[in-house]
Structure 1
Amino acid sequence: METAVTIPVGPADLDGDLVLPEGAGAVVLFAHGSGSSRRSPRNRFVAERLQRAGLGTLLFDLLTPLEADDQANVFDVYMLAGRLVKVTEWIREHHGALRIGYFGASTGAAAALWAAAAPELRVRAVVSRGGRPDLAGVRLAEVTAPTLLVVGGHDEVVLDLNQRARRRLGGPSQLAVVPGATHLFEEPGTLEAAADLARDWFTAYLRA
């Protein structure tokens, strides 16, 4: 059952949708990318895959509608990561027993990796889909959580950026290339493949 939540993050309140299947021991926080929101059909498709595997999900907007109108905010990885940290602290406060993973797309992947570098958050796993992990910069070396980078085989520029970023990660990682996929995984079967990769990664690393 989906529950609407409001999460205070300093001067703003962020809207989110929380699903915790019965017996869920873990929750995956979704950090969406530029031009997207918690209503993104792609993220919701992945979230449903995770829910069917018994994992909780929290889809939320990193920016308020007014903030999202300013493109500079969309690419402010430091601010987005700070928001994700606050949301993680909120989850800890309200559902402290849950193990936490991050799923990030596009610039949201950079925010997820930036936040995952904070050891006090105890993030167990990270998945990036079509992400820009390179934008996490020097924080990549501090990420020790197992990280899966999923990239479309036809998304050549982003693939190169992911290959470079992976070499800078401080923990175990894997690069999964989905054949035939472009940046948004719009080709038949490619989003399903990416979702299954994310499900298997989180299932492996978020179990007790």
Structure 2
Amino acid sequence: SPPKKKPSPPPNLKISKLTHLTPLPRVVSLLEPGPILLVTTGSLPQNILTLGFHSMLQHSSPILITTVLGLWDASFNLLKQHKQFVLDIPDVSIAQTVVDIGNCSVNYGINQWEKFKNDVKAKKAEKVDVPLVGGKGIIGNVECKVENESMVEKYNLWALRVVNVWVGQDWEKKKMIHRRWDGKFSVDGEKILDLSERMVKWEGLLD
């Protein structure tokens, strides 16, 4: 039988001029929208963790956030034990400290609160028994409790319920940092694009 002809593309379909993003894990630099965080769990003088993998899961009743935290993190067993978590949001002024915190661990005998005391100060939380990270370079703190662990064993994915939120003075003027790739970070810009009047379908989320 004669060889089958390849199907012709639709007449208006143009060959893509896009380039493959490689290696594949770099997709996180496209889809990871949230800021880099500092995370506290356990009690003093236990660990502070630098974290980039997190996402909103549910808007309300209750508000849920997911994060990836695995056995490779010193905070994993602390979270397993205490079931409480604080997500601390740093601004760009302490970006180098945030990276340095991520390079060390209580597992190596390092007290991060003492080592980085110029930039991070332990403060008492209100609804969890976990210290908040305070200091001039902190935008805010989100107190959380573990809501669901069903995907931890397979995916290291935790569902956290938000129970309290703090923000510092002028928090809206501070700039968050976002991880991109190979050690690079983007910084929130000064210009805010306000399209709230166009978001007629999502008015309930504009508060």
TM-score after normalising by structure 2: 0.25
Higher relative contact order (CA 8 A, sep 6+): 2
Q: Which has the larger radius of gyration?
A: 2
Bigger proportion of residues as helix: 1
TM-score after normalising by structure 1: 0.25
